[in-house]
Structure 1
């Protein structure tokens, strides 16, 4: 059986504004100083599993196609699926899986991967994917990777382990008991203490036919419209995530609890995790500070100077003609500000 990794590359990355913009979203950025974008890093770690570029696929939004082709010039045009409008992840997964089943067959093992995550232990990541692929080959299983939590996060969804399946390539596998959306702090602490919960990584591996059959049961309109009309069906499709459309309903969900240094890079605070060891500040800018600590300083232009005096726990970002200054505890509110910018014609040029 062939393994087909698919990169989900249509996201907006709004909480990384102003560096992340409509035509230059988070997945096109290099946040670790390596020079490689998050999208390029994702492709690099999936290629050994795919075997070559002919088996690597990307699905993205229409306004990002040019950027995808610039960043991944080796990607065959036929392996780049373009959504005319974003309808969340369920249509993306369903349409791509249908297309892969046509080109290969329903026994093809497919994996879906967000384009904007960071993985510290790439060898561990690849060995985990081999185990997930093995489980998907041998069972009618939709396998998800559950990241072992290190703190009681209220920003992630959680997966509860159910009945133990056994070991697969040295890793313990479990049937999924339930998925839980972002919990409150008390619930997150209970989840962490129980040892039965993992963070939902948004990574899924399955045989194409298994998931298409399950989607036919739980989201029949989605599958029938895409089967009959292909991408032309998009304007009529419900906007819904694959978690809601399928994963929270199927009885075929399995989880591999893993630990390979995963980070979904949700907002600017992630730079502290990427650059561990700097106890005073994270500086990716020409910065001079007095009595400044716990802050994140970023500029896209090394010729620009950021000066801070007497500040603590701030995020300061300069990009072009836009500047962001926000307390680290309130970065989740960046999306609300972007909604304000969208409403004002004078400010839309900054999106």
Structure 2
């Protein structure tokens, strides 16, 4: 009999590299970016509902600012299953608080899965089978299970997981102990990782029992856990701001990885839209676009009545949304965050955030 499983969707991110489409009250996870008609958070939840058999065991952790937006996006989600952080303190705090709350309701033996709200997954069936294997491994071995994505190119924007000794086979999927995590290597290192055959991309999906999570966080993030257990959510703004990767995953000895292949992209910036939608086209056109000699570009306009005209451009992203037009080289989309820093410092422009 499979153990009780509770998925928690991590939905507190800002999606700043998708600005100006992604903004404070309409972050990336609320957007439809792949042409499916579903927002990213809706697609994430709809993949998980069949695995658990209904909405009553789906949870979401998000920011207080986005709580009402989550309810609008997911009207079938019970209000009691939304955890609203008073202030974002990165993923370690989110995982710790959610694990404590889920354990209160279901007990320490429940298996919890954490899923980013903004990932694209192509094969829902293969995804569900992989989650089943991860649940079995977490329950059987007391393991902290992460899903590693088979790399298709030497990305310098993803984290990598080095798989070590084989640890078993669950649901016909082989599992391995984790030797190490490496965050965003340079290009030469990424090429070496892929050539070795021992590395997968870090999907940001983690599965473990509530007991394992709480015990390991008490061991490796004691300040965080002591404050949460003693004071509850009221202490949230004072919690250490650190990711779950640094706080726990890189320190624990219990991590196992399941190399998976179900079609995945973390949709980190506008270049991800090109990976998903370009196909054989010379551009990705999500706008009424009139062009002369423009190639390798992504064009987006939120208003279908507006026309984007380009002449002689190559490898650029053009985004028109409301009162903002963004034009950026595809090679420099990571620098959008720097622009937002300048806008935040200008009171006359902060309405654009």
Sort the TM-score into its range (normalised by shorter chain).
Answer: over 0.9
Indicate yes or no: 2:261 matched with 1:259. yes
Deviation at 1:223, TM superposition (A): 1.1
Deviation at 1:143, TM superposition (A): 0.1
**Equivalent residue runs for 1:103-182 within 5 Å:** 103-182=105-184
Please name the residue that 1:282 is paired with. 284
CA distance in 1, matches of 2:254, 2:67: 34
Indicate yes or no: 2:33 matched with 1:31. yes
Please name the residue that 1:102 is paired with. 104
Aligned pair count reads 351
Deviation at 1:278, TM superposition (A): 3.6
CA distance in 1, matches of 2:163, 2:207: 17
Three-state SS of the structure 2 residue aligned to 1:5 is strand
Deviation at 1:102, TM superposition (A): 0.5
The unaligned stretches of length 5 or more in structure 1 are: none
Question: Once the two structures are superposed, what CA deviation does each residue of 1:266-303 show, in whole Å capped at 9, x if it has no partner?
Answer: 00011111214243100000011111111100000000
Deviation at 1:57, TM superposition (A): 0.1
Please name the residue that 1:212 is paired with. 214
Three-state SS of the structure 1 residue aligned to 2:270 is coil
Three-state SS of the structure 2 residue aligned to 1:243 is helix
Deviation at 1:215, TM superposition (A): 0.7
Which of 222, 232, 244 is equivalent to 2:246?
244
Which of 299, 302, 316 is equivalent to 1:300?
302
Question: Once the two structures are superposed, what CA deviation does each residue of 1:100-148 show, in whole Å capped at 9, x if it has no partner?
Answer: 1110000000000000010011111111000000101111100000111
CA distance in 1, matches of 2:279, 2:100: 45
Question: Once the two structures are superposed, what CA deviation does each residue of 1:53-104 show, in whole Å capped at 9, x if it has no partner?
Answer: 1100000001101111111011111100000000000000000000011100
**Equivalent residue runs for 1:222-237 within 5 Å:** 222-237=224-239
Deviation at 1:32, TM superposition (A): 1.4
CA distance in 2, matches of 1:34, 1:196: 34
Deviation at 1:196, TM superposition (A): 0.3
CA distance in 2, matches of 1:274, 1:161: 27
Which of 66, 71, 81 is equivalent to 1:79?
81
Please name the residue that 1:330 is paired with. 332
CA distance in 2, matches of 1:122, 1:151: 22
Please name the residue that 1:273 is paired with. 275
Runs of 4+ displaced beyond 3 Å: none
Three-state SS of the structure 2 residue aligned to 1:249 is coil
Indicate yes or no: 2:348 matched with 1:346. yes
The unaligned stretches of length 5 or more in structure 2 are: none
Question: Once the two structures are superposed, what CA deviation does each residue of 1:310-349 show, in whole Å capped at 9, x if it has no partner?
Answer: 1111100000010000011110100000000001111101
Please report the TM-score for the alignment, with normalisation by the length of structure 1: 0.99
Deviation at 1:259, TM superposition (A): 1.0
Please name the residue that 2:65 is paired with. 63
Please report the TM-score for the alignment, with normalisation by the length of structure 2: 0.98
